[in-house]
C-alpha cells in the first residue's frame, strides 16, 4: 500500500513561493495589505460607532480585551519562530517576528494564499529554503487548528453542552474527537516527518523541544484570546455568557472557521457559528457585534505590533538583522 505524502501540497506551496518572491510582488502585497486593511476598518466603522453611541461599553473591559488580543498576536509570531527552529532554522527572533507580523496583515486580502505567500517573501533574506517554509506553513496550520479543536471539545464538555442540544452520543463523539486531536498533536512530529518523505535533512529539525514550546504557548494564546472575547461580551453588557461559555464559543467558531480556507479570515462563517450556538443566550445583533469587535481588536493589535517592530528596528537596526546558526 502506497504511503500518503504531503509532497504534492508542499510542491504547490513551493511554486507559489517562487512566484511571490518576485520584487514587484512585494510591492503589490504591501499595497493590497494597506488597501484591504482600510476597507476592513471602514466596513466595520458603523458597528464601532453604534457601540460607542448606543451601547456605551465598559471601556475598562474594552482596554483589557485589546491588551489580551495584543498578547495573543505576539504569541502567534513567536509560535512561528519556534516552528522554524524545530525544522532546524534558528534565526534572529525579532527579524522573524517582524516578517511574520507584516505577512499576517495579508490575511485581510481576499484569497487565503496571500498571507502564506507574504511569509515566504519576508523570509527571503534569512536563507531559509522554500521547502522548509512550505513545511512550516503546513505544520503551523495543522497544529493551531488541532489545538483549537481540543479547546473547543474540552470547553464543550465543561460548559458548552448547557447551551446546545446534547445527548450521550454527541458527548461520546466530542470526547472521541478531543482524544483523537490530542493524539494527533502528540504524534504530529513523527507523523509530519514521516509524511514529508525526508524532504529536508537538517540536523536540528528533530529537536522537539521547540515543537513542544510552540504547542504550549499557542494553546495559551487560544485561552488568552478567549479571555479577550469574554471581556468584549462583558463590555456589551451581555450578562448570561460566562467565561467557560465564551471559551467554547470562541474556540469553536475559530476552529471551524479555520477549515474554510478560501474565505478571508473566516469572515461571516465565524459570526454564523456564534449566532447558531448562542442564539438562546443573547440577541443575534449582540453576538455578531461581539465577533466583529474581537476582529477589530485583533486588527488593531496586529497593526500595533507591526508599528512597534518598525520603530524598534529603526532605533536598534542591528537587533532585527538575521543571524545564522
**Distance between CA atoms of residues 16 and 320, nearest Å:** 26
160 in a structural domain: yes
36 in a structural domain: yes
**Widest CA span of the chain, in angstroms?**
64
End-to-end CA gap in the chain: 40
Q: What is the pTM of this model?
A: 0.79
CB contact burial 172-189 (16+ within 10 A = b; e otherwise): eebeeebeebbebbeebb
22 in a structural domain: yes
pLDDT surpasses 60 at 262:
no
Highest mean pLDDT among 9-13, 42-46, 105-109, 241-245: 241-245
Domain range for 20 is 7-320
pLDDT surpasses 70 at 124:
no
Band (150; pLDDT cuts 50, 70, 90): very high
Band (157; pLDDT cuts 50, 70, 90): very high
Q: Which residue has the higher pLDDT, 97 or 36?
A: 97
Which pLDDT belongs to residue 205? Answer: 47
Which pLDDT belongs to residue 293? Answer: 85
pLDDT surpasses 70 at 41:
no
Average pLDDT over all residues of the chain: 78
Q: Total structural domains in the chain?
A: 1
Which pLDDT belongs to residue 44? Answer: 63
325 in a structural domain: no
Chain mean position to CA 165: 29
292 in a structural domain: yes
Which pLDDT belongs to residue 201? Answer: 52
Band (7; pLDDT cuts 50, 70, 90): low
Average pLDDT on 296-300 reads: 87
Q: What is the DSSP string of 233-272?
A: HHHTT--S--HHHHHHHHHHHHHHHTT-TTSGGGTTHHHH
Q: Which residue has the higher pLDDT, 222 or 285?
A: 222
Which pLDDT belongs to residue 203? Answer: 47
**Distance between CA atoms of residues 178 and 21, nearest Å:** 39
189 in a structural domain: yes
Rounded to 5 degrees, φ, ψ at 136 are -65, -40
Which pLDDT belongs to residue 168? Answer: 85
Would you tell me how many other CB atoms lie within 10 Å of the CB of residue 42?
Answer: 9
Q: Which residue has the higher pLDDT, 112 or 119?
A: 119
pLDDT surpasses 70 at 121:
no
2 in a structural domain: no
Band (78; pLDDT cuts 50, 70, 90): very high
The percentage of residues in the chain with a pLDDT greater than 70, rounded to a whole number, is 69
Contact 57, 51 (CB under 8 A): yes
The percentage of residues in the chain with a pLDDT greater than 90, rounded to a whole number, is 27
What are the pLDDT digits (tens) for 183-239? 999 998 888 777 665 554 544 445 788 999 999 999 999 999 999 999 999 988 887
Contact 19, 93 (CB under 8 A): no
pLDDT surpasses 90 at 274:
no
Whole-angstrom CA distances from 245 to 54, 159, 181 are 26, 6, 21
1 in a structural domain: no
pLDDT surpasses 60 at 19:
no
Amino acid at each position: 500500500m502506497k504511503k500518503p505524502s504531503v509532497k504534492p501540497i508542499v510542491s504547490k506551496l513551493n511554486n507559489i513561493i517562487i512566484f511571490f518572491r518576485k520584487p514587484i510582488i512585494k510591492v503589490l502585497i504591501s499595497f493590497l495589505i494597506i488597501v484591504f486593511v482600510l476597507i476592513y476598518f471602514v466596513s466595520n466603522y458603523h458597528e464601532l460607532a453604534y457601540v460607542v453611541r448606543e451601547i456605551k461599553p465598559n471601556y475598562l473591559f474594552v482596554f483589557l480585551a485589546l491588551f489580551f488580543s495584543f498578547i495573543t498576536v505576539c504569541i502567534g509570531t513567536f509560535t512561528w519562530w519556534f516552528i522554524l527552529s524545530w525544522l532546524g532554522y534558528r534565526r534572529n527572533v525579532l527579524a522573524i517576528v517582524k516578517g511574520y507580523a507584516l505577512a499576517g496583515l495579508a490575511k485581510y486580502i481576499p484569497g487565503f494564499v496571500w498571507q502564506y505567500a507574504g511569509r515566504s517573501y519576508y523570509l527571503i533574506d534569512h536563507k531559509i529554503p522554500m521547502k522548509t517554509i512550505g513545511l512550516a506553513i503546513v505544520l503551523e496550520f495543522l497544529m493551531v487548528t488541532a489545538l483549537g479543536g481540543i479547546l473547543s471539545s474540552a470547553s464543550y464538555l465543561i460548559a458548552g453542552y448547557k447551551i446546545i442540544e446534547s445527548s450521550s452520543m454527541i458527548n461520546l463523539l466530542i470526547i472521541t474527537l478531543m482524544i483523537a486531536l490530542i493524539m494527533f498533536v502528540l504524534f504530529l512530529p513523527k507523523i509530519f516527518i514521516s509524511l514529508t518523505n525526508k524532504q529536508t535533512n537538517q540536523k536540528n529539525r528533530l529537536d522537539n523541544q521547540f515543537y513542544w514550546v510552540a504547542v504550549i504557548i499557542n494553546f495559551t494564546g487560544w485561552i488568552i484570546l478567549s479571555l479577550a472575547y469574554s471581556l468584549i461580551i462583558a463590555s456589551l453588557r451581555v450578562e448570561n455568557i460566562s467565561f467557560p461559555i465564551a471559551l467554547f464559543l470562541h474556540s469553536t467558531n475559530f476552529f471551524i472557521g479555520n477549515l474554510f480556507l478560501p474565505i478571508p479570515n473566516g469572515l461571516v462563517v465565524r459570526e454564523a457559528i456564534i449566532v447558531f450556538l448562542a442564539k438562546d443566550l443573547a440577541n443575534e445583533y449582540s453576538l455578531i457585534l461581539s465577533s466583529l469587535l474581537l476582529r477589530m481588536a485583533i486588527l488593531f493589535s496586529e497593526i500595533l505590533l507591526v508599528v512597534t517592530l518598525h520603530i524598534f528596528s529603526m532605533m536598534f537596526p542591528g537587533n532585527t538583522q538575521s543571524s545564522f546558526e
